[in-house]
Structures are given as structure tokens and as C-alpha cells.
Structure 1
Amino acid sequence: MTDPVLDLAPRGSISIDCVVNGPISTNTYFVVSGDEALIIDPAWEGDKLAERLRAAHPGARPVGIVCTHGHGDHVGGVAGMRRALGDDVPYLISASDAGFVRDAVASMRVRWGIDTEMPPAPDRLLSEGDTVAVGDAVLQVIDAPGHTPGGIVLFCASAEGRVAFMGDTLFPGGHGRTDLVGGDEDTILHTLGRLFRSLPEDTLCLIGHDGTTTVSDELGRNPFVAHALSLGL
């Protein structure tokens, strides 16, 4: 697979709120641009997340719910948000992970006893090269398999800087687990190689759990990134 081709020119303005929620502390992101809002990875109790969104950004109209991958702790709030916000708010996920969600939710139920409400059928299927608009900003879709078969990263170059919503593909000093259903170690190393050859060093990486990092920091300390790049993966 060739490396992603990204538009690095700043476009539009965004603000980002992070809400930690769910049984294993997932980061849900509200991306607001102008009078529109995009929700990324609603983990749990979507009705309460919708209340948080309305309270924090009362003038922002929700234009989409995007999930970076199909694990239950990243899709568990989709159904509740749709009930609260309306069925006209589209739900987006990768084409590869759309059919993986049911098995992933079942696996989490068996493995950890976490029961997750099944999301509805997606309204739009994403793959590399697609874009998702919010206000005057644009998020670019990058295929990022390895943690799941159809994980994606969402990259945005805005007036405030460059940001990548990584889901569970990257963690500071490491990468997402590959021992869960759908994971593959070789594949995630290939993904890291593609990402770190393509993302600018000043890109802020917003992670699915815990804290943030940057491309520059990971180039200097992440042994998995270094390994992937050294092998030309």
C-alpha cells in the first residue's frame, strides 16, 4: 500500500473538547467549527454525551458521528447519541470495520463483561482519501488497520495547527493492542510506517485513551515507530 497523500495547507478553524467516558476511560472528542460539531468515538451513554455537547456548545449543530474503529468502547455511545440528537445526524465508520462491529462487541462482552449497545447501520462508509467536513474545516481519512481490520486516522490541518485523531492505533511510546479480535502486529507496524512518513512532525496526536503526544515526540521515543521506519514498512 502506498503512503497517504495529505493536503497540509491550513483550512478552517476548529476547537476540540475531550470527554473521558465509558468503562475503560475512552476519549470522546467534540470537534467544533463555526456553528457545526463533529463527534469522534462516542464511547458510552450517548444520551449523556449529547447533553454534554449541547451544554458546552449550545450553538453548534451536530453534523456527524465518526468512529475510528469498531471496538465496543468506541462505538458504544452511537445509538444513544442518535436517539438524543436525531436520526438525521449521520454515523460514519470505515467500510472494513462496519461488518466487524458485532463480533467486536460480542468479544468485549465475553472477555471483560462489558455490554455495549449495538450501533445502528452506518450512514456512510469511509476509506482512505475520503474527507469529513465540519464548519469550514476538513478531516482527511487515512486507512490505519492493525488494531482492527478497518481502523482509520482522521487528519486535520487547520488555522490552529495540525491534528490527527488516532483512535487506538498509536499510544505514547507504543501502539494499540493487537491481541484483541481483529488485531494484527505486522499490519499495525505497516500502518505506523505509513503514518510517520506522511504526518508532519508538528502534528498533535489525539489518542483513544489517556494523554496526547506529537509525531515529533514519537519519532524520538517510540521503538515500534523506529522499527517500522527502519524496515521500510
Structure 2
Amino acid sequence: MLIAGFPAGSFQTNCYVVAPAAGEECVIVDPGQDAVGDLDDVLREHRLKPVAVLVTHGHIDHMWSVAPVCGARDIPAWIHPEDRELLSDPGKALSLAGGQELFGGLTFSEPDDVRELADGEVLSLAGMELTVDHAPGHTRGSVTFRLPRSGEIPDVMFSGDLLFAGSIGRTDLPGGDYPTILRSLAAKCLPLPEDTVVLPGHGPQTTIGHERATNPYMAEAAPYAGPTRGL
């Protein structure tokens, strides 16, 4: 398995390239602001051919370069239907004053080929199988992508802005909801094996076990077991 990542643009959003090995087909996860140049370098270095762009959610720092990346290579973008409108109007997910322009009037558009994700769906792309988990709370259409364990390589989760090392995604923007993100953490993260590698939308990688043990939001998401004294 080959996974290469880099932080893109002023938001430092992690963009990932995932392939079975060098010289093969690959998928791109979350090409954010100014991602095109670094992305081209990664693809050239590892001799990779992209077949799809996967979007964990529709916030502008994760989808900024989706249309140009898809258009240059004639490949589809995959996104959850609850966030699809953000591909062409990412300002809807921001708390903008009435009439306020987005980044000086910058405009966005959908790629020619947009495909919608469903909870529990397994995508067969580039010789890999990625499981989609709908995990709302940061946005209504937030998803994660999971690669299954392969030999000595543990499970891998691309968590977007659901789960970070030591924290979780913000819930104060339109479409965000704190109780909902806690339910997503409980349903989609807590049951995973402890050695599951978490590759988040921002910051360093971590593991489910480490976050279960140290992340206060994961503790809050865990169901209360009740008192334990007595028989």
C-alpha cells in the first residue's frame, strides 16, 4: 500500500494520494487550496494514474481544487449528497454576512462527473476497496473512508474533520451539530480496532487506541457504563 500526503494551502488541509503500489492507479482524497502543484509532484514521483477524487466533506478547505483536478484528468468526484451543493457554493457552509463575497468573488463549479456516496457503501477503485461511513456533525454530509487490514498493515481511516489527534472537528458552522458529531464518533470510531491508523484532515496521524485513551471528546462519546459496585 502506498499513501502519500501533504498539507495544502493556507488552511494546511491534508491531501492524500492512495494506491496499491507505485506505478499503479490511485485515488485522491481532499485536494484543497493550491493542491494542484504538490499533487502533480506526488503523482509524478510515484508514477501514479488518478481514477477518482474522494471528498470527506464540502468545506472549502477540502474541496477547493476538486474541479480542476477532476477536469484535468477526466475523472469523477465522489461526495455525500448532503454536501454536494457545497461543491458549487461552498459559502453556504460559512457564516458569511448577507451579500459578503467569498474570497473576493472567487467562484466554484461542480466537476462534470459527480457521484454520490452512501453510508456503508464499498467503493472498488484503483484495485482497492474503501468503505464509506456517513459521519455527520461537522457537516451534514461528512464521511470517512476506511481501508481494511491487509496482512501486517492495520486498518486505515481517512477521517476528514470528524476526528483529529487530540480533538474533533468544529460544529459551530452551518450544518454542524455537537451532539450529532458525538454520535458519529460513537458509531464510526469507537468500535474500530485500536491499531486503526487515523489520517485526519488536519494535523498528524494517530490511532483509534490512542484517541480512545486520551481524546476527551472520544471519552464523551463513549456510552456511560453505569455504577459497578456490588453484584
Are 1:224 and 2:217 counterparts?
Answer: yes
Pair 1:157–1:202, CA change in 2 (3 A): same
- Which of these two proteins has the greater Rg computed from alpha carbons? 2
Residue 73 of structure 1: how far off its partner (Å): 0.6
Q: Which residue of 2 aligns with 1:117?
A: 108
**Partner amino acid for 1:219?**
R
Q: Which residue of 2 aligns with 1:136?
A: 127
Deviations 1:121-172 (A, max 9, x none): 6521001111222333211000100000010010111422210000001112
Q: Which residue of 2 aligns with 1:78?
A: 66
Aligned mates of 1:177, 1:122 — CA distance in 2:
29
The alignment partner of 1:190 has SS state of helix
Q: Does 1 or 2 have the higher relative contact order (CA < 8 Å, sep 6+)?
A: 1
**Structure 1 residue corresponding to 2:136, chosen from 140, 145, 157:** 145
Q: How does 1:98-109 map to 2 (within 5 A)?
A: 98-108=84-94
Pair 1:185–1:176, CA change in 2 (3 A): same
Q: Which residue of 2 aligns with 1:15?
A: 2
Pair 1:52–1:158, CA change in 2 (3 A): farther
**Partner amino acid for 2:129?**
V
The alignment partner of 1:161 has SS state of coil
CA RMSD of aligned residues (A): 2.3
**Structure 1 residue corresponding to 2:196, chosen from 181, 185, 203:** 203
Deviations 1:18-73 (A, max 9, x none): 02112211000000114111000000235424522432222x22110000000011
Residue 103 of structure 1: how far off its partner (Å): 4.6
Aligned length: 216
Identical aligned pairs, as a percentage? 34
**Partner amino acid for 1:105?**
G
Q: Which residue of 2 aligns with 1:164?
A: 157
**Structure 2 residue corresponding to 1:94, chosen from 80, 83, 90:** 80
**Partner amino acid for 2:4?**
D
Q: Which residue of 2 aligns with 1:43?
A: 32
Aligned mates of 1:207, 1:191 — CA distance in 2:
15
Runs of 4+ in 1 over 3 A off after TM superposition: 100-119
- Give the structure-1-normalised TM-score: 0.84
Are 1:185 and 2:151 counterparts?
Answer: no
